[in-house]
Structure 1
Amino acid sequence: MPVAPEVPPRRVHVTEVGLRDGLQNEPVVLATEQKLALARALIAAGVREFEVTSFVSPRAVPALADAAELVAALRDTPGLHLSALVPNPRGAERALAAGVDSVVLFVSASESHNAKNVNRSVEASLAGFERVARLLEGSGVALRGAIATAFGCPFEGNVPVQAVGGIARRFAELGATHLSLGDTTGMATPPLVAERVHHLRGAVPDLPLTLHFHNTRGIGLANVMQGLALGVERYESSIGGLGGCPFAPGASGNIASEDLAYLLEEMGIDTGLELDGLIGAARLAGELMGRPLPAQVSRAGPRLALAECAAVPTARG
């Protein structure tokens, strides 16, 4: 069912996920001080909301073994909101002890991807979340929900919108304050974005939506444009386009924070982000990774970053 266009938001909230989603699948494991250097560059560029790490088993994801140390080093920085992914009650206990502002509970919309990702059924994941919700009661730490493969599964193909809606209702019952739709494998398209946003606004009207796109097939920002046309105000992105899912064949990185900020700036939408600072942070991320990153704006610069005419050869003939 088509969704009537809305007025695009005048301000958009961007959550930086590069320190978590961006780094968890990289072959290079950064030291805590290197992560902090990248975080400080992002903070200087105006980033105030981070999905900063994940409290998973260090054996499972060695790149995030310093989760507690990273949160401790950042938590007293004024104005920041630090969220962390947690897979189970033990992870939630560690996140609470570290001093995060919110925890993110994640589940895949497809059974096969959830089994690969966390080795349990969707229902078993959701049942475990009830214990996490009880742990958070009275703590002042918010609960956020995230649905992976919300736009398609690399093993099952199309994911019914009703499956996404059913999980969303479970998150609402748990008291989630936000819900992120994850395009884990880059299978989202503008029509799917419209379908899912429309359905969820009916299923969980009081749960604000966040859109998390990957650029696997080159239309990540086209999907953002569809979200903006529907009035969605919250997006997640990764500096330099870092990221990818180890349990999703062919999945490449997230949409790049600097590419997203450039698009929004050119549309006259406020983000509180400073584009030149993001470009600097992306270049630092590339240096730390030891390779060029897939983002485009940090390579080409903004459209009015002019070249010196005399420095460019003139065609002959």
Structure 2
Amino acid sequence: MTVRLRDVTLRDGLQLTGKTLDVQMRVDLARTLLAAGVPELEIGSMARPDLVPPMAGSLDVVAALTPEELDQCWIWVATPRHVEKAIAAGARNVQYCFSASDAHNQANIGRPTEDSVAAMPRAIDLVREAGGRIQLCIATSFTCPFDGQIDPDRVRGIVGDPRTAGADDVVLADTLGQAHPAAVRGLFESAPARDRRLVFHGHDTWGMGVANSLAAVEGGAEVIDGALAGLGGCPFAPGASGNTATEDLLFATRPDYLTPRVLADLITAGESLLAELGESSRSKTAQGARSKAAAFDWVMPSR
């Protein structure tokens, strides 16, 4: 199986930054990632900007991209009304997200999980009418900051619920980065995907981001999420830290489009973003590429 990387810098990667990135910089970064060969991006969120300020202007990013670019892009939604607004702005693909945990869903979206599941058929209908794609995204699929360990049967029940069956993809998220490879592989192997594409969204809080992503692939995932420099985290999940770094996932999986030059360009783009935001890199690959081991093809020339 060929695994695809989806870069989520422009949504999950920016959620916890202390500074908001302006719309043009976000558009430019999206185009840099697409030009590098990254096949899919998450470019923004319909979350309330008063609650998640870095997501303000997400619909302006959508409006600035071409239809061809938007075919490769996803935007986070949590309600049918979010779907309506995103589609009206030009979005083609939405990630309908809620939590396996009631406590986290209440903190993140303001309603019990059952209410989110019950509303999903309407969201699916709206996307189908617009000719787009929709993902079922289950946050806290492994652990919750309030309820602790999540019973895998609860996640499997949501994936197999007839009301979520119309989704094109199923995203299982290790929101807190507390999962371990055996648990990740087991959940992916047992999830009733029903011919839908499986996606793993992992965080690197406990240093397991790359290992968990590879375990997800072994369990059947076709897409893995990452963010440049390991940026990111959920503002409503105490204990969460950054996403697994895009650079690290690419170096581990070696897609056909990845060359030392492409990797260097992505590392440079990540460094420019970090400088703008005043953030630090969590990418081991970026660190290694800046080393003095010049005989290794993937090390970048000295500046």
Alpha-carbon offset, residue 105 of structure 1: 0.6
1:225 corresponds, among 214, 217, 225, to 214
Contact 1:151 1:159 in 2 (8 A): yes
Quick check: 272-281 or 290-299, which moved more? Answer: 272-281
Relative contact order, CA 8 A, sep 6+: which one is greater? 1
Q: Distance in 1 between matches of 2:287 and 2:53?
A: 30
State the one-letter code of the partner of 2:294: L
- CA distance, structure 2, for counterparts of residue 171 and residue 281 of structure 1: 42
- Amino acid paired to 1:275: L
Deviation at 1:172, TM superposition (A): 6.6
1:302 CA displacement: 7.7
Distance (whole Å) between structure 2 residues aligned to residue 89 and residue 229 of structure 1: 33
Q: Is the 8 A contact 2:44 2:76 kept in 1?
A: yes
* Cα shift at 1:225: 2.5
Cα deviation, residue 101, structure 1: 1.9
Q: Report the Cα offset of residue 185 of structure 1.
A: 0.4
- The reply to whether residue 126 of structure 1 matches residue 117 of structure 2 is yes
- Cα distance, 1:281–1:224 mapped onto 2, change above 3 Å: same
Whether 1:283 and 2:274 are equivalent positions in the alignment is: no
1:72-125 per-position Cα deviation (integer Å, ceiling 9, x unaligned): 112345585111111212211111111112111111111111111111101011
Change (3 A) 1:151 1:161: same
Q: Relative to structure 1, is the Cα distance of residues 28 and 57 closer, same or farther in structure 2, using a 3 angstrom cutoff?
A: same
Match of 2:283 in 1: 295
The 5-angstrom pairing of residues 42-53 of structure 1 reads 42-53=33-44
SS at 1:19 equivalent? coil
**Structure 1 residues 78 and 28, CA gap change in structure 2 (3 angstroms):** closer
- Count the aligned residue pairs: 294
Instruction: Report the TM-score when normalising by structure 2.
Output: 0.90
Alignment match, 1:69: 60
Q: In 1, Cα distance between the equivalents of 2:198 and 2:185?
A: 12
Letter in 2 for 1:251: A
Q: 1:116 to 1:102 in 2, by over 3 A?
A: same
Query: Which residue of 2 is the match for residue 210 of structure 1?
Result: 199
**1:1-317 residue pairs with structure 2 within 5 A?**
9=1, 11-77=2-68, 80-170=71-161, 173-200=164-191, 203-265=192-254, 269-270=255-256, 274-301=262-289, 306=294
Please give the alpha-carbon distance, in whole angstroms, between the structure 1 residues aligned to 2:268 and 2:119: 41
What is the SS of the residue equivalent to 1:188?
Answer: coil
Q: TM-score, normalised by structure 1?
A: 0.86
What's the C-alpha RMSD, in Å, of the aligned pairs? 2.2
Instruction: Mark the structure with the bigger radius of gyration.
Output: 1
Q: Which runs of 5+ in 2 are unaligned?
A: 297-303
Which is worse superposed, 229-238 or 143-152?
A: 229-238
- Quick one: distance in 2 between partners of 1:152 and 1:44? 36
Structure 1, unmatched stretches of 5+, are: 1-8, 309-317
Question: What amino acid is the match of 1:87?
Answer: A
Q: Per-residue CA shift, 1:201-224, capped at 9, x if unaligned?
A: xx2331221111100001111112
SS at match of 1:18: coil
Q: Percent identity?
A: 36
